Structure 1
């Protein structure tokens, strides 16, 4: 596919003034935890610019909080890469159970060797004492959903099973791990959402739409990488397989889903803003960062080396990074 496609993104771009400093810090942090020991890993990590994703999605966070968010992102990417290389559903389940034990263990990984588990133990330790038991339960529940979804993916890979589109949409929200990063908005800003807000239909619709927008956009920029690896877990590839579409038509269908979800987010945000719960300052902070996540993920994807053609095995699979449309709030 040689041309780029435009997606709907009516949100103003933001970038934390701490972005460059946190990027430098992140390289040292990942090195200290042994996450960059493989040949070429440091160069790949530097090109990915993980700190910029957090600087765009939490642009008003303090420097220390932005470092914590970036450490979470690096840890989850390292975990995700490890789970993808696990070698099957049984091995994936073993690694998933390790993480679950880590989140329950009072030692929280202090004695673990370097690697993704030690990194996760550190960021969990730095987060858990800042939040209430209810927040911890919600957050670890969302991590659990992500972990179980990776076992589902491993089973599909082992069976060479392309997931049906409806099933994939449900599971993609979980494999994207967006819920846990939306939870992190709260401790990064020193707030916690009341239960009534979390239960509100319009707020839940905002959050769900923001997560699916992020996940589908990631699929739009990464489908050549998945296709080259023979991995069926991508909305473009799922649509192509189930509907027997040419890849260009499948991409356009995925863009259509993305744009419809953006409209859903904007409509839910307007309904919620007109309701009785919108006046809470904590709600305003979280709602703002949900929009920052949508726009920040687009901008980071275009500047990051995470999805560049150089990272994709094979030839003839250029990655089309969509441009934005209507980028004014």
Structure 2
């Protein structure tokens, strides 16, 4: 599928990241809690699952994305992250093997969040452990937020699940996506919008309408999500190449523009950096207009934390090989 004979010639690319790293002092405590939580819910019963979970350090990603949140809030965010990873893995395997029950499961997840009551079919579709975990995290989140937030969040969860269905359908058909199609759907499958929404219950705020309706805020969120999605592609393409998965911006650029693998990686880095600059410009304009609104500043600042936190978590997580990890660089001058 890909020119893997060039694999050893590729150095890890340096990506632009001008933000300083931060991490919550609660990270280690939440990591210990998360292992107990995932075990209690039966999410780590597969062979080697506990060891892989400990290496992944999911709590560190949430502790970096929300360094100023309290320990209880970081526990909730980490439970969302774990549940989403487990759901993603289940759907990826199930949709290829038996697509109809998996599609029913997607519909039931959205129904759970919209109706706030799990349907009996949910446990059958997802398995009781994951269904119970999702039900718990939603029950813990729902009292923290209002109706407008719930509607926005559920819509973003539905978008993420639609992206997952799209990817799984392509894998089942061995269909490589076109570049523009991939860019559009990657924004959904990366699940960044739903996790950006969780900034609000993590801090006990709801973003003001003036910020939500600000075009620069939409641009900043979209750019932040794109930066995270491309960075994740830059560190995961060797794994995806090894299993023949087409879903990576590096491969889409390689196919569509007839690039060598090193040139495709370089093109993806350049696109990452363009969106990083776009994010900075939008963020600076937002901070000028909303500097006196605490909720708005938190919502903007945690986007910065998410971008930098995703990078640092990738460097320390056992989910990736150290030789595949891009370095980071600051702007010159």
- TM superposition score normalised by structure 2: 0.91
Match of 2:329 among 309, 325, 329: 325
1:169 is aligned to 183
Does residue 306 (structure 1) correspond to residue 319 (structure 2)? The answer is yes
Note the C-alpha offset of 1:107: 3.3
1:243 is aligned to 257
1:108 and 1:125 in contact (8 A); partners too: no
Helix, strand or coil at the partner of 1:115: helix
Does residue 281 (structure 1) correspond to residue 294 (structure 2)? The answer is yes
Helix, strand or coil at the partner of 1:35: coil
Superposed CA offset, 1:41-67 (max 9, x none):
000000000000001010000000000
2:22 and 2:309 in contact (8 A); partners too: yes
- TM superposition score normalised by structure 1: 0.93
1:314 is aligned to none
CA RMSD in angstroms comes to 1.8
2:3 is aligned to none
Helix, strand or coil at the partner of 1:87: helix
2:100 is aligned to 90
Helix, strand or coil at the partner of 1:324: strand
Does residue 233 (structure 1) correspond to residue 252 (structure 2)? The answer is no
Match of 2:210 among 167, 171, 196: 196
Superposed CA offset, 1:201-253 (max 9, x none):
11111111011101110000001111111111111111111112111111111
Superposed CA offset, 1:19-77 (max 9, x none):
00000000000001111000000000000000000010100000000000000000000
2:88 is aligned to 80
Note the C-alpha offset of 1:91: 4.0
Query: Within 2, Cα distance between the matches of 1:208 and 1:297?
Result: 15
Does residue 62 (structure 1) correspond to residue 66 (structure 2)? The answer is no
Helix, strand or coil at the partner of 2:20: coil
Query: Within 2, Cα distance between the matches of 1:320 and 1:132?
Result: 42
1:56 and 1:296 in contact (8 A); partners too: yes
Query: Within 2, Cα distance between the matches of 1:107 and 1:182?
Result: 24
Query: Within 2, Cα distance between the matches of 1:320 and 1:106?
Result: 41
1:223 and 1:234 in contact (8 A); partners too: yes
Query: Within 1, Cα distance between the matches of 2:100 and 2:128?
Result: 23
Note the C-alpha offset of 1:98: 2.4
Query: Within 2, Cα distance between the matches of 1:60 and 1:274?
Result: 22
Superposed CA offset, 1:171-215 (max 9, x none):
101001000110010111011112221111111111110111011
Structure 2 residue runs without a partner (length 5+) = 1-6
- Cα distance change on mapping 1:109 and 1:34 into 2, 3 Å: farther
1:8 is aligned to 16
Length, aligned pairs only: 318
Match of 2:47 among 30, 39, 44: 39
Query: Within 2, Cα distance between the matches of 1:72 and 1:284?
Result: 23
1:108 and 1:124 in contact (8 A); partners too: no
More helix by share: 2
Does residue 133 (structure 1) correspond to residue 147 (structure 2)? The answer is yes
Helix, strand or coil at the partner of 1:85: helix
Does residue 101 (structure 1) correspond to residue 111 (structure 2)? The answer is yes
1:16 and 1:56 in contact (8 A); partners too: yes
1:278 and 1:284 in contact (8 A); partners too: yes
1:186 is aligned to 200
Query: Within 2, Cα distance between the matches of 1:245 and 1:10?
Result: 29
Query: Within 1, Cα distance between the matches of 2:101 and 2:317?
Result: 30
2:62 and 2:78 in contact (8 A); partners too: yes
Match of 1:272 among 286, 291, 298: 286
Query: Within 2, Cα distance between the matches of 1:155 and 1:234?
Result: 15
